[in-house]
Structure 1
């Protein structure tokens, strides 16, 4: 599988946060040429500049993180916080995909992988904006994946939760006894996934062995969601 990834040009967005660092390490170790992008992507210009400067793109990894505002009641969710979720998680994803697809369609080859969330797959209160934005990512991937499959371009999403990453599970949270108790109660495996377990799935989705995966939102949460 790794041989198929060797020398491929791979963009990793938000390379310094969420699953970015682990992705950069895993794909670099697999021999890919990784374009690690850590700058803000909230504007169309920024997305266009990244895609244009990257040249040929074999794999686009849409890795976007945002504060989840957990605990905020829907009646208290302000317009700015609601809009922020879509500005950070949804609009950049569409811009990057829209700008990258033409070259992949012309070549009849390409992979787009979105690091999403399993949260929309399981009802959770006090998480309306984050759930809505992550749910929009899933719906988008399903639609676009079906649309471009005939061009031999595969678009898929990893619907993850309970994976070690600096954005949502920093060390100080993992050390909290309340969090440890919740982890054992909520996750059948009773632990967080290691980042490399998660990126192993991304490596598979980036390889030619995943060609029959089309518009999938693949749960990766230790049995927490399915």
Structure 2
């Protein structure tokens, strides 16, 4: 939908990481005024401060990412567990708590969580990361149905095997072992394009998607279906 976000102010967090760069590009192409934040939201008070400094917004895109640990479950330290949840989970209630009241008051708004499909299918040596991503999706489902009567739609994208610099940098994509894994595990047979993912995100943040509340949308080339 061309210019589906015209007139909308959109706050995108971690705008230089994960899906941030492509989200900013596509949302701007769709007519949005993009407020791009690169702040570290794991710091106390940072998430609420980012929303407050952005000023009035129509859409919040909670784009949260870290490099995923690959620690065996029985070897996960307290420090790793706390750090991963501090980066991926703890900012969410503060972001939503700061952004949602104004949306509720005017009975209009969109919140989109950029999550991971690692919460939907078991992965070895990913217990900490998968648990945090699962908490994101559970939060999106619960808060989504809570905000729905106020005409505010909160949903989540659960992605994997999407072309992005945080999880699939060029050197990873060029590795023959990764190419073999891609062919073996992803029915699509390739990475989902960053632009494809961002365009779907833009759709979910447009008025055309007013009917979706508290839903989790896998974007992973069929990986969770296997």
What does 1:43-58 correspond to in 2, within 5 Å? 43-58=43-58
> What is the CA-CA distance between 1:44 and the residue it aligns to?
3.8
Calculate the aligned-residue CA RMSD, in Å. 1.0
Gapped runs of 5+ residues in structure 2?
A: none
- What is the rounded CA distance, in whole Å, between the counterparts of 1:202 and 1:101 in structure 2? 19
Q: How many angstroms apart in 2 are the aligned matches of 1:2 and 1:12?
A: 20
* Match of residue 90 from structure 2: 91
2:86 aligned counterpart, secondary structure: helix
Which residue of structure 2 lines up, in the alignment, with residue 24 of structure 1? 24
Q: Which residue of 1 aligns with 2:68?
A: 68
Q: Classify the secondary structure of the residue corresponding to 1:164.
A: coil
How far apart are residue 83 of structure 1 and its match? Answer: 0.7
Moved beyond 6 Å, runs of 4+: none
Instruction: Figure out how many residues of one structure are paired with residues of the other and give that number.
Output: 225
What is the distance in 2 between the residues matched to 1:48 and 1:136?
19
Larger mean CA deviation between 38-47 and 77-86 belongs to 38-47
Residue of structure 2 in register with 1:195 after alignment: 194
* Corresponding residue number in structure 1 for 2:6: 6
**Matches of 1:208 and 1:142, distance apart in 2:** 19
> What are the equivalent positions in structure 2 for 1:59-138 lying under 5 Å apart?
59-70=59-70, 72-138=71-137
TM-score (norm 2): 0.97
